[in-house]
Amino acid sequence: MIFIKLILTNLLRHRIRSFISIAGIAFSVAAMLTVVTVLQGAVGMFSGILSSDSQIIVFERNVSDLFFSSVPTAALNEIASWSIVEHADPVLFGIVSSEDHPIITCFGITASDARLRKATWITGDRSGFAQNPDGVVLGERAAEFLKAIPGNTVQIGHGTFQVIGTIKTANGFEDGGVFMPLASAQTFFHKEGSSSVITIKLRSKEDASLFKSKVKTSFPTLVALEDQEFTRTYSQFKILKATAWAVGGCGLLLGGLGVANTMIMSVFARIREIAILRVNGFSHTQIGTMIFGESAILAVLGAVAGLLLGTVFLYALKLIPALHGYVDVSIQPVVVLIVIVLALLTGIAGALYPAVYAMRVRAVEALRFE
């Protein structure tokens, strides 16, 4: 109890300093949680686009980005004819800009695509899709920022299209996108006879290995990956995740420096007290444990406050209309665990030098310290 009291006494003795350290860690943790969760949500949503009512994605081997992938229509037709395949949906991705909107994602799809089948139609219906080569369906958010309703024409890139319906999906990317008939998209993006990917639904999930093996044999330039496999290995996702953790890590490093500063000040200001403890039998280990204990408490309180703050940030971001659908507030337990562990490690690292300094205090010299 006395040992814990000694730790707490010191933290409470300089409340403002302790509060600033906790705030430093809290903001770092909140930043890390927000960045990682937003990017993981984005990755999840992008994965969701690909895995809409499908288990496997087929795309061109060795492309760095799916926008550059090209899967020939001949391959699509052959794969769709395999008995183990329930359906194969081609998707052509394209990015265009319009006035005030630098990035609009376009999806070239067929009328039977799950995106249209499973969407909630706000206006219009699926039967009209692909009847008119210039007819497009807008995601709910795209309709908002393009200020378009069915019957209107919209300028997308260098083309003019007629809006035939608006849909709401569960995916922020899709809600901000434009859905074009596949053939129109192929012409628009100069990718006649190909799509970016094919999403596959198998009759039996057990056939996944067989399917991948068949693709490898029949189409050496293509690769088939199961959805989870794709999310794990796709280089863009890896870069995004690494960036998120790196940015969060930098934030935490700054928080750690704050703890280090606090602990250094704290140790220097009570050299005499540490000497008293040494004279009264405290071992080097006990002195070190006391210092590490103080920083661990700062780190844990900072981590808890940061998690709360980060959650509030995320909900606030979700409420911003422009980000609607892009922010997924489902905080993964593993992220929480990693953030807490990193905050603790940061706190301990920040206390390393002060603890070593405190352990080396020479009692006889420190007692002369006024």
Partner 1 sequence: MTNSPSPLTIAAIVLQAEDVWKSYDDGAISVLQGVDFEAIQGETVALCGPSGCGKSTLLHLLGGLDEPDRGRLSVNRVELNRHRSPLRMLRHELGFVFQLHNLIPDLTLEENCLIPSVAAGLPRQVALSRLHELTERTGLSHRLKQRIQKLSGGERQRTALCRALMNKPRILLADEPTGSLDEKTSATVFDLLLDIVAKEGVTLVIATHDRALASRCDRLVEMHDGRIYEPESL
Work out whether 142 is an interface residue with partner 1 (CB under 8 A): no
Work out whether 362 is an interface residue with partner 1 (CB under 8 A): yes
CB 363 within 8 A of CB 279: yes
Please, what is the minimum distance in Å from the beta carbon of residue 303 to partner 1?
26
From CA 84, how far away is CA 207, in angstroms rounded?
A: 7
Work out whether 312 is an interface residue with partner 1 (CB under 8 A): no
Please, what is the minimum distance in Å from the beta carbon of residue 25 to partner 1?
24
Work out whether 356 is an interface residue with partner 1 (CB under 8 A): no
CB 42 within 8 A of CB 207: no
Shorter beta-carbon distance to partner 1: residue 98 or 286: 286
Work out whether 334 is an interface residue with partner 1 (CB under 8 A): no
Choosing from 242, 246, 279, 337, the residue that interacts with partner 1 (CB under 8 A) is 279
- Provide the terminal-to-terminal Cα distance of the chain, rounded to the nearest Å: 28
Listed in sequence order, the residues at least 6 apart from 277 whose beta carbon sits closer than 8 Å to its beta carbon are 6, 286, 287, 290
From CA 154, how far away is CA 320, in angstroms rounded?
A: 25
Shorter beta-carbon distance to partner 1: residue 86 or 273: 273
Choosing from 17, 141, 212, 278, the residue that interacts with partner 1 (CB under 8 A) is 278
Work out whether 254 is an interface residue with partner 1 (CB under 8 A): no
Choosing from 217, 280, 321, 334, the residue that interacts with partner 1 (CB under 8 A) is 280
From 184-192, 243-251, 278-286, 317-325, span contacting partner 1 (CB under 8 A): 278-286
Work out whether 59 is an interface residue with partner 1 (CB under 8 A): no
CB 153 within 8 A of CB 61: no
Choosing from 269, 316, 356, 364, the residue that interacts with partner 1 (CB under 8 A) is 364
From CA 21, how far away is CA 358, in angstroms rounded?
A: 19
Work out whether 101 is an interface residue with partner 1 (CB under 8 A): no
Task: With CA atoms as reference, report the closest residue to 17 among 274, 194, 368, 267.
Answer: 267
Distances (CA, A) of 186 to 2, 142, 281, 344: 75, 21, 81, 52
Please, what is the minimum distance in Å from the beta carbon of residue 365 to partner 1?
8
CB 206 within 8 A of CB 163: no
CB 347 within 8 A of CB 296: yes
Distances (CA, A) of 14 to 22, 30, 287: 12, 24, 19
Shorter beta-carbon distance to partner 1: residue 143 or 359: 359
Work out whether 269 is an interface residue with partner 1 (CB under 8 A): no
From CA 172, how far away is CA 317, in angstroms rounded?
A: 13
Q: State the greatest distance between any 2 C-alpha atoms of the chain, in Å, as a whole number.
A: 92
Shorter beta-carbon distance to partner 1: residue 214 or 284: 284
Choosing from 277, 297, 314, 331, the residue that interacts with partner 1 (CB under 8 A) is 277
Residue 337: how many CB atoms within 10 A of its CB? 10
Helices (H), the chain: 2-13, 15-50, 73-81, 114-117, 140-145, 172-175, 182-188, 208-218, 227-233, 235-268, 271-279, 284-319, 333-359, 363-366
Shorter beta-carbon distance to partner 1: residue 111 or 363: 363
Work out whether 265 is an interface residue with partner 1 (CB under 8 A): no
From 77-85, 199-207, 231-239, 359-367, span contacting partner 1 (CB under 8 A): 359-367
Work out whether 203 is an interface residue with partner 1 (CB under 8 A): no
Please, what is the minimum distance in Å from the beta carbon of residue 293 to partner 1?
13
List of residues contacting partner 1 (CB under 8 A): 1-3, 5-6, 9, 13, 272-273, 276-284, 286, 362-364, 367
